[in-house]
Every structure is written in structure tokens, then in C-alpha cells.
Amino acid sequence: MEGNWRGRDVISILDFTREELEELFKHAESMKKSLEEGRVEKKLKGRIIALAFFEPSTRTRLSFETAAKRLGADTIGFSSGFSTSVEKGETIADTIRMLDSYADAIVIRSKYEGSALLAAEIAGKPVINGGDGKQHHPTQAMIDLYTVRELKGRIDGLVYAIVGDLRYGRAATSFILALTRYQPESVIFVSPPQLKPRPEVLMLLEEAGIRYSYARLEDAVEAADVLYVTRIQKERFPDPAEYEKVKGSYRVTRSLLEEKAKRELKVLHPLPRVDEITHDVDDTEWQAYFTQAANGVPVRMALLSLILG
Amino acid sequence: MEGNWRGRDVISILDFTREELEELFKHAESMKKSLEEGRVEKKLKGRIIALAFFEPSTRTRLSFETAAKRLGADTIGFSSGFSTSVEKGETIADTIRMLDSYADAIVIRSKYEGSALLAAEIAGKPVINGGDGKQHHPTQAMIDLYTVRELKGRIDGLVYAIVGDLRYGRAATSFILALTRYQPESVIFVSPPQLKPRPEVLMLLEEAGIRYSYARLEDAVEAADVLYVTRIQKERFPDPAEYEKVKGSYRVTRSLLEEKAKRELKVLHPLPRVDEITHDVDDTEWQAYFTQAANGVPVRMALLSLILG
Amino acid sequence: MEGNWRGRDVISILDFTREELEELFKHAESMKKSLEEGRVEKKLKGRIIALAFFEPSTRTRLSFETAAKRLGADTIGFSSGFSTSVEKGETIADTIRMLDSYADAIVIRSKYEGSALLAAEIAGKPVINGGDGKQHHPTQAMIDLYTVRELKGRIDGLVYAIVGDLRYGRAATSFILALTRYQPESVIFVSPPQLKPRPEVLMLLEEAGIRYSYARLEDAVEAADVLYVTRIQKERFPDPAEYEKVKGSYRVTRSLLEEKAKRELKVLHPLPRVDEITHDVDDTEWQAYFTQAANGVPVRMALLSLILG
């Protein structure tokens, strides 16, 4: 079965079956254990991973870099389009072609829809989408599911409330898409009307037989086993004053959780957060976002190791 | 003979004899083979190469970094003057002195004429010019000659057409200078009048007994065995409207090649390109610029290994 | 005694006793020797050091990076707040929490007072202050003392003249604080009135029984065994014209040294310098600032090795 992984591109979470995700998670578990015990096998010694971050990112970039280096590989690349040839007018295609001849795999991040797919078509080496456009961030979705599985013991049968920008936020959309590979009890959306999930995403939920509904934050928190929070960018509102008026409706606070949440609720967030989860939630049992961030390393180690191993 | 290489500075392509270049190319060939076979010897294990890129560059920087890491060395440095002490007013000399005490070799890139020479005078460790001023980019010229040698079987006896900014473009000038170490059949220049090669460059061609001439692009393409294309920057034209008028005269298209070029013509470009070679040339047999870019790694591996080995 | 070092945070030079500093210096001596002999033991193989430079720095960042890599460790991180999540509004605390889960130690640099202490409270892994706020740059002070010890044979019993911005300059302040761990003959301050040391710093000198005084540059140079020069930023003067008038009074030139200085005087500067030491001092016997910069690597190697070894 590992044969399916070697040399594979990772463009969308929809490219993966439930069985493949489960296999990845088992590898990630064993990576996490070996990290904790300080005895990671240098499986990727001598390999070079290119990190082509046309759009800045801290967590995704540094956790890929850490994952590569923990496995004995090295990295090259850039952390923003600034100071690269793209600024001089080079196409992404030419940049990818160059990296394809230097490195053994390419992680790409870009604000443009379809960049990772384009890169995969050009490159002979495996391409991993580190987030592109408004929908795809497959490795984030893997980390999110892995964290739910780790903390709740399962992914099926749970009530998921997903909060924030469900239309333009790629982490939220990828998480919703990822759930179609499992059997959640139901999915509850909490977002301003203009930031609801796209019709094609809803259709995939329907095809997968997953019930979904819309609710206010208070009610969603009350029903949820997993609360997935994302940021709403002020710029999405035609009138910024409108944003100021509603933003409180999408902010998760300790007092809200104390009033409404199940004791076993787990709160996730792909991070960085600004103020959509207040800092007084950080040292509660509900907080799972720091665990989720830390899981970025073992999950990406598992992925790199399956693809390049 | 390798004794000539150890600890050597690389400032200008003119510092090298034909025999030395041939020796380098043989090493590069063997590096390329070992890369393909995935069995590169970690000759530079424990070494640190400083990459002092005061001027941004993607290809030169990443291929030096890849070359160093493939050989087991590590790198430190910066990829633009931005965010370094130079911004606070530190001289290049003080920065180089610091790197000289940290690293085992220094690769420098700068827009200022003579920066690499200055660095070499200050540093005790070997200094490699990764491009400075308007004339010198010796490692690019090495890669260019190596690519011609690889694809055409020889460097002597060929007709070279060189297109673009031959006055301020450092890759083009270094390539012309490099040809004086060989015996081309002839060299044809294609450029706007104000961007012709400098008199001192022409003098070196004459001293080497190399015939050169000027031609329109069509005629040059027809005669050439090797077509070396570079970018013409709009800013070189006092009147930008003038540039818009002539730019088509320096653009290599598939239809032009189909109409005029020999079947065996090889098209080189130091990259990045903007639109001086149209993308429909990419998947023709004439295209050699991606091979040339890929050759950056084995040629720089050979150089680092001879200098630091 | 090494037990005191393992896992330790490095926030202020005042956290260290004289005995601990001496132990560090002995390790640094042996690191320097092994660097010179090219036989450094890869004590930190497999470790990852995070370099969280929210404020740009060349020397501190690259010497930490070199130190880590010479010891076989690897690094991850960023070299300015630009292009990181902090730009998107993430708190330093959230960024540190992430790095704490990726790396084995964190070096932090920030313009904000108390950032390193905050980071140390959040992180489980050791945190090293690479300079924060206006007072603390403990590893710079270690390097400074080490350099004095190396060049003068001792730290006690010497006359120290300290020049420049003694109020807002973190390197100068940390150096003054470091001297309280030893018994200098005396300390002479040379600065504009508004840039004198803070009262709390003077109080610590008094508690340590160290005599200090204020003098003009000429007189300080005449009396000093060690001259520690730092930059005065124009912006510290309410009226820039005022700065232009006085800046000559704080500039160390070769002719001043030839007229006034002891032959054995050593001139230090944390670098980068702009024009507060003229370049004609560089090749005199007084110059010690390049040695000091070079010592950044062995001293930081010793520190990393004691903390992570």
C-alpha cells in the first residue's frame, strides 16, 4: 500500500481516501512517539526539499522545515515572493522548473488558485501544496483530522462546529472537504451570510451523506464536540463598520465556553489567530490549537517520509 | 594541477585559462553523473559557505546553496541587503570581515562594480563572485560554456549569436569574455545601438583573434549554432516608448526559429526571462535554457569542491 | 557544576555569577581551539535551534547560526518580523509557543523590553536572549568580556572607558552590567548628557563597589586599558543639528589614538559601526573589534553546548 505514496503529489485533501489518511495517521503517531523519545531515524538523509513560499507563512513553512530536518533532509527556498525572480517578472512555472532540477521535492505556497496543480504538472519531482488559493491546504487538513483523532479517539460520529470565513478561508474549506472522507454526526456552520461555504463544497457534503446546518455561535458551541475556529478578515466586509458591528458574534471567549460548552469539547484553530479566540481560553481543557500546531511536525514528517522514503 | 584551485578566489572568468576551465568541466561532468546516480560523496562535510547576497537572486543563490548541501556543507547568509546591517550603514568591507571569521568560503553578489574583488582583498577565505556590477558573473559563464560543451560536444568552431543588453548585462558580458578562452568560428551581436558591447570587451575579442559582427535577429538566428539570449531592461531606454517600438526585434519566438534556425541550434538564456523568449519555445529541441539552469548545481559543486576540497 | 547550565534560560547577563562566566569562557577557549584545528565535535547533532529574530540583526543571527551548525545542529526561523505571522497580528507569545513545539532551544531578538523573559515563561525549551529592549544583550556581553580576557589576560584591575549611547544602547548597558561581576579598576563614561547610563545601572555599579566617572573622549582614551565604543543614533537628539555639532566629540580616530592612547589599549565595538570609529584604526594594534566579532562563534558555541549538551 505504501506504493501509493512514493513520488506522489499532494494537491487537495480530496485526492486521499479514508484508508490512505488512516495510514498516514499511523505513521504520524509513530513519528510523534519517536520525536518524544528523541530517536528519530534519519530516513531522508541527503535529500533536499525546496520550500517555494510565494506567499508568506510562518507555521507551515517552519513546520515543514523542521519535519525535513528532523528526518535528516535539508531545505532550500524562499519565504516570500519578495527578493525572488518572480519580482523581476519570472513566471511561477519557470521558478518551479528550476527547483525541480535542484531539489527532491517541492512544497509550494501561493495565493493563486491552482498554483500547486500547475507546479505538479511541470515538475517531475513530488509537489506538496502548502496552501494555495481559497480552498486548498491539504496538509493542514491532515493535521486537523489527526488532532481530532488523537484527542477524541475518533473522527466519525462527532458534531463539528466550524466558525469564521468559510468561503475564502482555505484552512476551513479544506477541513470541511476532509470531513467528507469520514462520517461526522453533523456539521454546523457559523459565519456571516456573505462568508458561507461555497455551493460546490456543500454539494460534496451532501454526496457524502453528511448533515449540515447553520447556527449562531452560542448554539453551535453548545452542540459541538469539535469547534474549528478561523479568522474573519475585516477586508471581506464591503463596509468595515459592518465588521466592527458583528465581529463579537464570531469570537470564542472563556465565558462563552464556560456557559455553553461540553466539558469534552475541543477547540481547534489553524493559527495564527488575532482575537477570534481570546487568550483566556489558552489554559483551559478546551484548548487544542497548540497541540494542533505542534502536530504539524509529526504529520508532515509522516507525509515526507511516505512520499520520499 | 588541482593545487591551482585550492583556496582560490573567483572574481572574473578572465582569471581562468582554457586548461583550468576544461578541468572544471570534467569535474562537473562527474558531479552530474553522481547526482543522477544519487551517490554524491559528502566531500565538504562540516564546512560552512557564506552566501552574501546584497542583491537578490533566486537561481544563483539557490543553486550555490543546493551545491553546498549536496556536498554535505552547510550555508549561512542573507538574500538581500534588506534586514542586514548594511541597512544600518555598515560597509560591505565590515560585513565581509565578519563572514570571513564565521565561514570557510564566501559567495558574494552585489550591484556594485568591484565588490567581489574588494571582498577577496579583505577576506582570508576564498571569495566567489556570484555576480557584481555590469560585467562579471564568472560562475554563470562557466555554466554556460559547460552547457554548450555538453550539448554541442565542443565549444570551438561554433557560431555564437548573443542577443540583448550586451553593455550592462553581466551574464552576456561574462559569456563573451569566456569565449576568448576558446576558438569560436565567429560571434554575432544583436542589440540596440546603445546596448552594444563595450570597447574593452571588443578589444579582448580582437586580441583573441575572434571575428565578430552585428546583425538583425533573423539573420543571426539563421547563422547561429548557439543563440544566447538576455533581457533588455526597459529602463535602459531614455524614452520608454522607444523600447516598446523595438522590443519585438529582440524577441525569440517559435515561429522565428521554425522559419530560420538550424535544427541543431541551441538556445541559451541565463534566466529569469520575462518575454524575450516566448513560452512556445520551451518544448522544442532548440530549448537549452532549462538544461543550462539545471547545470548550475553540478558546475558549482565542482567549483566548491575544487576550491575547498 | 555543569548541572547549572543544562536547560537554562539566558535573559540577562546579571543572571550569571563570576564563576559561571569563567566556566563559560573556559569552554569558549576550547571551542576556539577546536575551530582553529578544524576538529569540532558534533555535540548537538540532530538538534534544532529556532532563531526568532523579530528585529533584524546580521552578526548575532549569523554567529548563532554558525555556532549551531559547527556543532552539528540545524536551525529554523526568521530574520525579521516582516513575512511572518506577527505581521498578520499574531502575538509574540503564540509564535514562541509554536517554536517551542518545533525546536530544542529558542534564540529571540526583539525591540520590546522583556520579550525574552516573556518567551522564557511561555517556552518549556531553553530561551536565549539575542538582544531585547534597551538593556539586555547578554551573549554580546559574554563575548565582550571573553575578548578582554583573551587580549588583556584578565578582566579585573583594568580601566574601562565606555563611549556612546549608554542609556538606550543595549550592548553598552549589558557590558556595564557585566563588569559588576568583576573588579575593574574604574569605569569612565563618555556620552552626551542625555545619553548617560540610567540611575539603576549606576546603582548596581555602586553596590559592586566599582568607581565610575564621566570624562571627555580625549581624557578617557588617555586613561583607558579598554575602550568600548558604541553608536550614537542621530534620532536620540531632539534637534538633529545638535547631533551634527557634537558627533565629532564621540568619534575615535587614529590620530586621537596616536596622540593619547596607551600602546596596550584595546578598542572594542559590538558592531555594526557607521563612522564612530574611523577606518584608519582598523589596521592598528589597538583594533580589537574584529577579534571580538569573530569570538561570537566560539562563545556562542560554548553557551549552546553547555545548555543543550
> pLDDT tens-digit profile of A170-183?
999 999 999 999 99
Please state whether the peptide bond connecting residue C272 to the residue before it is cis, i.e. omega within 30 degrees of 0: yes
Task: Tell me if residue A134 is catalytic.
Answer: no
Nearest CB partner across the interface for C95, out of A58, A65, A79? A58
Q: Do A131 and A209 belong to one domain?
A: no
Query: Which pLDDT value is given to residue A80?
Result: 80
Are residues B58 and A103, on separate chains, in Cβ contact within 8 Å?
A: no
Whole-number Å distance between alpha carbons of C256 and B284: 69
Q: Do C20 and C92 belong to one domain?
A: yes
CATH at residue B66? 3.40.50.1370
Chain B residues 8-67 with CB within 8 Å of chain A: 38, 40, 42, 56-59, 62-63, 65-66
Q: Do B148 and B288 belong to one domain?
A: yes
Which residue in chain A has the smallest CA separation from C97? A290
* Position A87 pLDDT exceeds 70: no
Mean pLDDT for the stretch of residues B243-249: 82
Mean pLDDT for the stretch of residues B72-85: 84
Kind plus residue range of the DSSP H or E element containing C128: strand C127-132
Q: Do A106 and A171 belong to one domain?
A: no
C289 close contact with A: CB closer than 8 A: no
DSSP state of A197: P
* Position B119 pLDDT exceeds 70: yes
Q: A81 CA to chain B: closest CA distance, Å?
A: 10
The strand pairing partners of C106, in sequence order, are: C50, C127
Domain encompassing residue C28: 2-136+295-308
Residues of A within 8 A of B42 (CB-CB) are 46
Query: Which pLDDT value is given to residue A109?
Result: 96
> pLDDT tens-digit profile of A266-279?
999 999 998 999 99
Q: Pick from C93, B68, C83: which is nearest to A109 by CA? A: C83
Are residues A293 and C97, on separate chains, in Cβ contact within 8 Å?
A: yes
Q: Do C65 and C197 belong to one domain?
A: no
Query: Which pLDDT value is given to residue C103?
Result: 98
* Position A3 pLDDT exceeds 70: no
List the helix and strand counts (H, then E) for chain C.
12, 9
Please state whether the peptide bond connecting residue B272 to the residue before it is cis, i.e. omega within 30 degrees of 0: yes
Q: What angle do CA B255, B257, B258 make, to 5 degrees?
A: 65
More confident residue, A309 or A35: A35
> pLDDT tens-digit profile of C224-253?
999 999 999 877 777 888 888 888 889 999
For chain C, the domain total comes to 2
Query: Which pLDDT value is given to residue A240?
Result: 81
Mean pLDDT for the stretch of residues C118-135: 97
Task: Tell me if residue B216 is catalytic.
Answer: no
> pLDDT tens-digit profile of C248-292?
889 999 999 999 999 999 999 999 998 999 999 999 999 999 999
Q: Do C142 and C285 belong to one domain?
A: yes
Q: Do A107 and A202 belong to one domain?
A: no
Q: Positive or negative CA dihedral for B84, B85, B88, B90?
A: negative
Range scoring the smallest mean pLDDT among A73-82, B53-62, B76-85, C160-169: B76-85
Which residue in chain C has the smallest CA separation from A55? C83
Are residues B58 and A84, on separate chains, in Cβ contact within 8 Å?
A: yes
Are residues B76 and C57, on separate chains, in Cβ contact within 8 Å?
A: no
Q: Do A88 and A61 belong to one domain?
A: yes
Q: Do A172 and A127 belong to one domain?
A: no
> pLDDT tens-digit profile of C67-124?
999 999 999 999 887 666 776 778 899 999 999 999 999 999 999 999 999 999 999 9
Alpha helices in chain A (DSSP H): 18-36, 59-70, 92-102, 115-122, 138-152, 170-179, 199-207, 217-223, 240-246, 254-260, 289-294, 296-308
Whole-number Å distance between alpha carbons of A173 and B219: 55
Q: Do B286 and B303 belong to one domain?
A: no
- Collect all residues with Cβ–Cβ distance below 8 Å to B61 and sequence separation of at least 6: B51, B53, B79, B109, B130
Query: Which pLDDT value is given to residue C245?
Result: 82
Q: Do C202 and C257 belong to one domain?
A: yes
Give the number of other CB atoms < 10 A from CB of residue C45.
11
Nearest CB partner across the interface for B95, out of C58, C63, C297? C58
Q: Do C122 and C146 belong to one domain?
A: no
What grid cell was written down for A232?
474573519
Give the catalytic positions of C in this structure.
Answer: 59-60, 88, 109, 137
Q: How does residue A32 score in pLDDT terms, banded at 50, 70 and 90?
A: very high
Residues of C within 8 A of B56 (CB-CB) are none
